[in-house]
Structure 1
């Protein structure tokens, strides 16, 4: 892979090559990507979607929106720091093509801003609820009507693949979705493969999958434009990662490791005493003990430690990327950056306590149960309508359900898979609160 191709400014539908040196410096194409994401309705719905604690009413606990904004800030710094070093190593990127260090920051920031845009309501339990409905629930009835890959898309519904669908899916009046640059789409694609085969290798890029069958052609077009390496075997579609996807992943890893830990302390799920104990090896070289002692409340003390810890991990991620940049370009670096950094043990300790005290807390589990029930009810109603429509046995209730759906949801596709994907995509875009309201309406409540 080469950086000139990887930094492609191409957008869906372009017939002419976009050159970096011809860009308007006051509003670069990569910055337009950020703007388009942040003004999208799908991004806006993240303000009421779970990050850690579902349906939390506490103002200092992160939602998907605040998490995405913070990941984007970290990602921008990572991109700029890496970009500056890469331009020193490959000066022609600047002197011949006009790329700047901030371009790398803008690409990674935009991709990071969108990294959770495909996540359904109620966090990862929402993904599992959708998948479980088709794998073990009423949705099994559709299995004979789909290919193995299509059925796998539904049985293991993946927020990353759904995000790619949201960013690229064409609909009337909006060809190419948000029409982001291919460089940003490449950085967004953490798992550049289809749903089958599952985990064909131990490479981090094969851990999950990154596109549904409905976006297969679009995905291949983006991958080929960027010069990603084809890695698929026996006809399967799989590519190497875009190098900047490693930085998006690192920004996410840094933020959820440190900030979920911070949320757990602020919620009282983790004792404050653990904060310094678990973070000391990350902040030892930067902490001002006098300043720390002067902070009078838990939130301020944890906030100070969090800022120092994130800065330490940013610098470590940059060093790791630059150390392994050649291997990354050759697709031979098989790990997440933070999984092989010198703070790996400290990160693991923080994640382990967060799993026990936060992710498996009674409050989280109880609310995830609610999320399962809500999503199962919504899927049950909508997929039954799809089934009846497919067999020509629509009921009066089905007709009302069809009328209740927004115009953006199309259930007139020839293939049941496409209709089912439309419904899953629609439900995935709902906020936690909106999903609960719709569930209540279908149950005859809140009238």
Structure 2
């Protein structure tokens, strides 16, 4: 792969290329991508979607929105730092093509901003709940009418693939979706493969899938434009866009450190653990008198968090540059932080977060409720949509259909498309909206 192609400013839906040296510096294409995501309804709904603590009423606990903004900030720093080094190593990118270090930061920041835009309500348990509906629930009845790959899309419903759909799908008045640049779409796609076969290799790009069968042609178009390396002749699979490694690292840094911080602020993890675990990451930068001068727990934890994030950013940049050749030829097969000199400390922090936060009573109870809510919504909506298509809709089905949005096509002649449209609609619901819809279906109107 080469950086000239990988930094493509061509927008999804364009017929011609866009040249960097012809860009308006006050309105750079990569920055337009960022703006379009910020102003999208799908991004705004993240303010009421679970990050770790579902439906928390505590002010300082992160939602998907605040998490995404923080990942974007970290991604911008990663991208800019890498951009400086890439331009030093490949000066023609700047002298001939006009690329700047901030371009790398803008691409990574935008892809990071959107990295959770396709996630359903109730966190990752929401993805699992949609999958279970088709694997073991009412949705299993459709298996014989779908291709293996279509059925797998539903059984392993993937927020990353749903995010690619949001960014690229056509709908009335919005041809080409949000019309992202190809570079941003490439950096966004952490898993550039289709749903089957599952994990054909141990390469990080094969861990999950990144697009639905409905969007495979769109992804192949993006991959070819960017010059991503084809990894299989048997199924659709490509190498990662190099900047996808930085998006992933930004997410890994934030959920490792900030979920840990949330756990401490909630009282689920003792404050002493913060100094014990984080000091091993920041020992070269911490100023003890500054730390002990802080009077509140939140300020002390915030100080440690800021230093830890900075240390991990610098480490990830070094790993990226040390492995740039392997990343460009597609042979770098793990996440950047898997090579971190702080790997042991990261694993310790994640372990204590799993035990004390992710498996806490509050989190588990809300995930249980989320399963029931999503299962009920999918059952009612798929029945109404399919009964309407088959001409057997009951009065109840017709009432349900009046509450579904006109922006999503539920009337396709293709069963897979209808089912996916229902899943897509449910995925766009905020936590509160999903609960509200559930209550209406259950007859609770107050």
| Class of the TM-score when normalised by the shorter of the 2 chains | over 0.9
- Tell me what 1:163 maps to: 163
Shift of 1:386: 2.8
Structure 2 Cα separation of the partners of residues 317 and 116 of structure 1 = 21
- Tell me what 2:245 maps to: 246
Whether 2:338 is the aligned partner of 1:339: answer: yes
SS in 2 for 1:85: helix
Deviations along 1:410-444, whole A, 9 cap, x unmatched?
A: 11101111011111111101100010001001111
- Tell me what 1:54 maps to: 54
- Tell me what 1:414 maps to: 413
Whether 2:280 is the aligned partner of 1:281: answer: yes
- Tell me what 1:139 maps to: 139
Structure 1 Cα separation of the partners of residues 59 and 422 of structure 2 = 31
- Tell me what 1:396 maps to: 395
Structure 1 Cα separation of the partners of residues 49 and 445 of structure 2 = 21
- Contact 2:385 2:411 survives alignment (8 Å): no
Shift of 1:18: 0.4
- Tell me what 1:435 maps to: 434
Structure 2 Cα separation of the partners of residues 409 and 293 of structure 1 = 54
Shift of 1:390: 4.1
Structure 2 Cα separation of the partners of residues 203 and 410 of structure 1 = 36
- Tell me what 1:220 maps to: 220
- Tell me what 2:23 maps to: 23
- Contact 2:115 2:163 survives alignment (8 Å): yes
- Contact 1:390 1:416 survives alignment (8 Å): no
Shift of 1:446: 2.0
Deviations along 1:255-275, whole A, 9 cap, x unmatched?
A: 000000000000000000100
Shift of 1:201: 0.5
Structure 2 Cα separation of the partners of residues 58 and 16 of structure 1 = 49
- Tell me what 1:172 maps to: 172
- Tell me what 1:97 maps to: 97
**1:167-246 residue pairs with structure 2 within 5 A?**
167-234=167-234, 236-246=235-245
Deviation >6 Å, runs of 4+: none
Structure 2 Cα separation of the partners of residues 137 and 365 of structure 1 = 21
**1:373-392 residue pairs with structure 2 within 5 A?**
373-392=372-391
Structure 2 Cα separation of the partners of residues 118 and 289 of structure 1 = 42
- Contact 1:135 1:155 survives alignment (8 Å): yes
TM-score with structure 2 length normalisation?
A: 0.99
- Tell me what 2:308 maps to: 309
TM-score with structure 1 length normalisation?
A: 0.99
In structure 2, runs of 5+ residues without a counterpart are none
RMSD (Å), alpha carbons: 0.7
Structure 2 Cα separation of the partners of residues 404 and 15 of structure 1 = 37
Structure 2 Cα separation of the partners of residues 48 and 161 of structure 1 = 21
Deviations along 1:365-417, whole A, 9 cap, x unmatched?
A: 00111111110110010111133234331111111111111111211101111
Structure 2 Cα separation of the partners of residues 55 and 327 of structure 1 = 42
- Tell me what 1:120 maps to: 120
After superposition, the Cα gap between the structure-2 partners of 1:144 and 1:390, relative to the gap in structure 1 and judged at 3 Å, is farther
- Contact 1:10 1:181 survives alignment (8 Å): yes
Deviations along 1:170-208, whole A, 9 cap, x unmatched?
A: 011101100000000000000000000000000000000
Structure 1 Cα separation of the partners of residues 142 and 196 of structure 2 = 18
